[in-house]
A and B are shown apart, each in its own frame.
Chain A
Amino acid sequence: MKILVCISQVPDTSTKIVLKNNNTSVSSDGVTYVLNPYDEWYALIRAIELKESGIATEIHLITVGKADVEPVMRKALALGGDEAIRIDAESSDAYETAGYIAAYAAQVGYDLILCGKESIDYNNGTTGTMLAGLLDMDYIGFATDIQIESGAALVKREIEGGEETDTCNLPLVISCQKGVAEARIPNMRGIMAARTRPLKVIVPSKITAVTEILTYELPPAKAGIKLVSPDDMDGLVALLHTEARVI
């Protein structure tokens, strides 16, 4: 069984966002980039577990980006994975990204495609669903547990107010979130091995994006906090009723 894991690089979770060029782009000065946590902690680690338990035979990691994403791909390889693929393009929306990945995946053919439930930069959560659509594959979103047995997947996924268990024969696209696997840190052996694992660069045929970001804006500063004495909870309730109008 061959697994493809979709990886995105994102600013570290503690990054302060700074805008530049008249608010038309986000500054990358001093920003540390990391593997998108949902891709790493859940999708990639689950793929590695499936290989360790002998269910998966090969894991490929794929990303869309220019050469500056390679350190993050090396870090992903240090956790596990047999080969990394970088689609050499600067994608400007999810449609374009999913298009490149789908074109590559269609050529190779994968039994299982895993991605995170969303990337923490653009918070779309659309890549997995789009991939499934483009590849005419089935899709299960927001997985919290993935088991594979004799060519079929048994997947628990979040639904509103609870959980659902689905079954589906492979091939399948699944988006992963908390519960799917436990976070790990790469060990020295993995880091050494990652250096020699292939990182292929693919030049794609251009796909034209269907959206563009015109400008960015930072949220307005909070108007300042009102402190309420711990002895005056009636006062707090009154404020929430008359001023905030939330109860």
Chain B
Amino acid sequence: MSVIVLVEHTGGVIKKKNFEAVQYASQIAKKAGTTVTALVLGTVTETEMEGLGQYGAQKVLHIADARLDEFHARAYSSALVAAAEKETAKIIVTLHDIGGRMVAPRVAVQLKAGLVAGALSYPDTEKGFVIKKAVFSGKAFAYVNILSDTKVIMLMPNTFPATKQEGKAVVERLDISFSEKDFVVKVKSVNKVTGEVSLADAELVVSGGRGMKGPENWGILEDLAKELGAATACSRPVADSHWRPHHEHVGQTGGTVRPNLYIAVGISGAIQHLAGVNGSKTIVVINKDPEAPFFKAANYGVVGDAMEVLPRLTAAVRKFKEQHK
């Protein structure tokens, strides 16, 4: 019996959030007196996989099938089920990200396993197998007890930091025969916005609302984002007016972000907007209206005109970076 964790990668590179999942799984395994096996799919180097040992994985199961270099929800699910069965794993960990959300629930029904989507805590095993998650878009938390023998946990990224230690995982090759059904959905084209920081994974986000007045003023917001290495986001009316692309829309009806720092510029802080950003660790609000509701949800506030404050903040960040080189 072991704990199994699905580790995705982007073109052979394993990202920080996957290290978080491995370490989370390893803490659970430690407590349960067992070990962690990471499942890696597609083309990845031996060194990259061995490196998972630094986050607590004892073993890596590697399915090298090159068809898995593309994301195929069904094939990934079949692989995870096969790996869980091979390891007689009773606890399966994935991330609560796009990939995890297309795979883990399928695995859960296949194994008749209870699942917690968006886990924010380690399981508390005193009263069962209880995990905390956000509900009502961050307006409350629920403590969910998994009743089934097999358990699936989808960990919310950026919840527990991953810290590197000494260690090297043993890589073992796993061959499974996929069925044709596993690859029915064909990927026709992939369009990645290169050079920009992806919003869902971003640790820092600079976001603009109607207070930015118009798309022509976004340059100063992008300058700040660039200086910080942050992703950009916006409120719903901004996306609806086509000032910014739809994928930048955050909130109740758009995307959810949980960065370490969310800087809201010219956004009033309507409850529907907060629903998408209230998981941020630190919130800075820049607004010219001292009564703007966003100030109630913020850690730091600047009452002022965005057009003046933004360039100053960008300059201050630049100065800070030069001093801390």
Where the two chains meet, the residues of A that have a C-beta atom closer than 8 Å to any C-beta of B are: 11, 13-17, 19, 26, 37-38, 41, 93-95, 98, 120-127, 129-130, 132-134, 136, 138-142, 144, 154, 158-169, 178-179, 209-219, 222-223, 225-231, 233-234, 236-241, 244, 246-247
Q: B57 to chain A: which residues have CB within 8 Å?
A: none
Known interface pairs A215-B143, A222-B297, A225-B285; 7 further A-B residue pairs with C-beta atoms within 8 A, sorted by A's residue number = A95-B115, A120-B275, A126-B108, A138-B185, A234-B316, A244-B281, A246-B260
Q: B102 to chain A: which residues have CB within 8 Å?
A: 129, 139, 141-142
Q: B201 to chain A: which residues have CB within 8 Å?
A: 160-161
Alpha-carbon distance between A117 and B93 when the two chains are bound, in angstroms: 21
- Show 13 A/B contacts (Cβ-Cβ < 8 Å), sorted by A: A13-B275, A95-B108, A129-B102, A161-B193, A178-B249, A211-B116, A213-B145, A216-B140, A217-B132, A218-B140, A230-B309, A241-B324, A247-B317
Q: B305 to chain A: which residues have CB within 8 Å?
A: 230
Cβ-neighbour of B147 out of A15, A139, A209, A222 (below 8 A) = A209
Cβ-neighbour of B148 out of A158, A161, A210, A237 (below 8 A) = A210
Task: Look across to chain A and name the residue whose beta carbon is closest to the beta carbon of B129.
Answer: A211
Q: B140 to chain A: which residues have CB within 8 Å?
A: 17, 19, 26, 216-219
Cβ-neighbour of A13 out of B203, B228, B252 (below 8 A) = B252
Q: Contacts A166-B187, A236-B284, A236-B302 known; A124 to B253 CB distance under 8 Å? A: no
Q: Does B37 contact A (CB under 8 A)?
A: no
Query: Do B109 and A133 have beta carbons less than 8 Å apart?
Result: yes
Q: B177-198, CB under 8 A of A: which get 1 and which 0?
A: 0000100111111111100101
What count of chain B residues pass the 8 Å CB interface test?
101
Cβ-neighbour of A247 out of B198, B228, B297, B300 (below 8 A) = B228
Q: Contacts A139-B74, A217-B140 known; A164 to B191 CB distance under 8 Å? A: yes
Cβ-neighbour of A120 out of B99, B137, B192, B261 (below 8 A) = B137
Q: Contacts A212-B144, A214-B143, A226-B301 known; A237 to B192 CB distance under 8 Å? A: no
Query: Do A240 and B282 have beta carbons less than 8 Å apart?
Result: yes
Where the two chains meet, the residues of B that have a C-beta atom closer than 8 Å to any C-beta of A are: 10, 71, 73-74, 77, 97-99, 101-110, 112-118, 127-128, 130, 132-148, 181, 184-193, 196, 198, 200-201, 203-204, 228, 239, 246-247, 249, 252-254, 260-261, 271-272, 275, 278, 281-282, 284-285, 295-305, 308-309, 312-313, 315-317, 319-320, 324
Query: Do A211 and B188 have beta carbons less than 8 Å apart?
Result: no
Q: A125 to chain B: which residues have CB within 8 Å?
A: 101, 117
Alpha-carbon distance between A241 and B203 when the two chains are bound, in angstroms: 14
User: Chain A contact residues: over half helix, strand or loop, or mixed?
Assistant: mixed
Q: How far is the CB of B33 from chain A (nearest CB, A)?
A: 24
8 closest A-B pairs by CB: A230-B304, A161-B198, A210-B114, A129-B105, A162-B192, A133-B106, A233-B316, A126-B105
Alpha-carbon distance between A169 and B186 when the two chains are bound, in angstroms: 10
Cβ-neighbour of A234 out of B106, B299, B319 (below 8 A) = B319
Q: How far is the CB of A6 from chain B (nearest CB, A)?
A: 14
Query: Do A230 and B303 have beta carbons less than 8 Å apart?
Result: yes
Alpha-carbon distance between A9 and B196 when the two chains are bound, in angstroms: 37
Q: How far is the CB of A243 from chain B (nearest CB, A)?
A: 9
Q: Contacts A225-B300, A236-B316 known; A210 to B186 CB distance under 8 Å? A: no
Query: Do A162 and B108 have beta carbons less than 8 Å apart?
Result: no
